[in-house]
Amino acid sequence: MRQIVLGKSGLSVPTIAVGCMRINGLGEKEAADFVQTAIENGANFFDHADIYGRGECEKIFAKAVGMCPSVREKILLQSKCGIVPGKMFDFSKEHILNSVDGILQRLNTEYLDVLLLHRPDALVEPEEVAEAFSVLKQAGKVRHFGVSNQNPMQMQLLEKYMRMPIVANQLQLSITNATMITSGINVNMENASAVNRDGGVLDFCRLNDITIQPWSPFQYGFFEGVFIGSDKYPELNAKLTEIAQKYNVSETTIVMAWLLRHPAKFMPITGTMNKQRLLDCIRASEITLSREEWYEIYKSAGNKLP
């Protein structure tokens, strides 16, 4: 699979990451087979979070991959913390340190390649975050740090106190949820698409070498459903099928190829636990859509050019 460099980390990673949020829906043998399929096809970067399955997803993954030193050196692990389900967001030093210890125990590993802060905490004290990151870095528990769902000012506030760069920002992005792209196209226009809802996070990340990791690349709305095959998007699906047939691949591959075509060098997070769909996602790294095809897909989802 094609590789990119993750932000300023110097870490070479596959251009597609394997999301493990739903791995607790697989049986033991299915999980092992799925993880092995990913690794064998170059998708060795796995994305977790401490809230996925309330920690069970990390345990299931560790067992599925057969975690041991020889296996660990072949894979890259990322996890997230900061959400206390149903209660609050917590970026306190104590919570971050405790969360990482729990993550490492469940994943049966001594370190994470990347730790992301999950949803922004309104009560964040950036000095505490910086202290927590320094402790984790010095202890060898986390090698690189990033965020999820943060705007430019929030990242700048953190980096004011941090000794290490933010290497990634995980953000919702798909053909149907492309506001960060659309607002840039509609600059200075008097329409709803011109509204800058995220502080220019796309350009900020590109300027500061922060890799954007699109989550829910196949979803419309906020987990409202998958747009492939949905009767809500007939024009989009017709266009996806047309281009998929041209390249002799699936619509899933073309959706991923659409994200990978962007020069920001996105690193999409898959969510599927279906081996064939995972392989279809991986195959997207072999395809480069033309500029015309990219815009045709963009417009077919209802996005308009000014």
**Cα→Cα distances 92→95, 114, 215, 294, 304, Å:** 5, 18, 25, 42, 42
The Cα 151–Cα 142 span in angstroms is 23
Sign of CA dihedral 229, 232, 233, 235: positive
Looking at residue 291, its pLDDT comes to 98
The pLDDT score that the predictor gives to residue 160 is 97
Which pLDDT score, from 0 to 100, does residue 223 have?
Answer: 84
Please give the Cα distance from 221 to 171 (Å, whole number). 13
Alpha-carbon torsion, ordered 292, 289, 45, 24, to 10 deg: 80
Which pLDDT score, from 0 to 100, does residue 222 have?
87
Catalytic member of 52, 220, 233, 298 = 52
Q: How far apart are CA 287 and CA 259, in angstroms?
A: 11
Domains and their CATH numbers in the chain: 3-300 (3.20.20.100)
- Do β-strands 12-14 and 17-19 pair in parallel, antiparallel, or remain unpaired? unpaired
Task: Indicate if 295 belongs to the active site.
Answer: no
Give the pLDDT of the chain (306 residues) as one tens digit per residue: 999 999 999 999 999 999 999 999 999 999 999 999 999 999 999 999 999 999 999 999 999 999 999 999 999 999 999 999 999 999 999 999 999 999 999 999 999 999 999 999 999 999 999 999 999 999 999 999 999 999 999 999 999 999 999 999 999 999 999 999 999 999 999 999 999 999 999 999 999 999 999 999 999 998 889 999 999 999 999 999 999 999 999 999 999 999 999 999 999 999 999 999 999 999 999 999 999 999 999 999 999 999
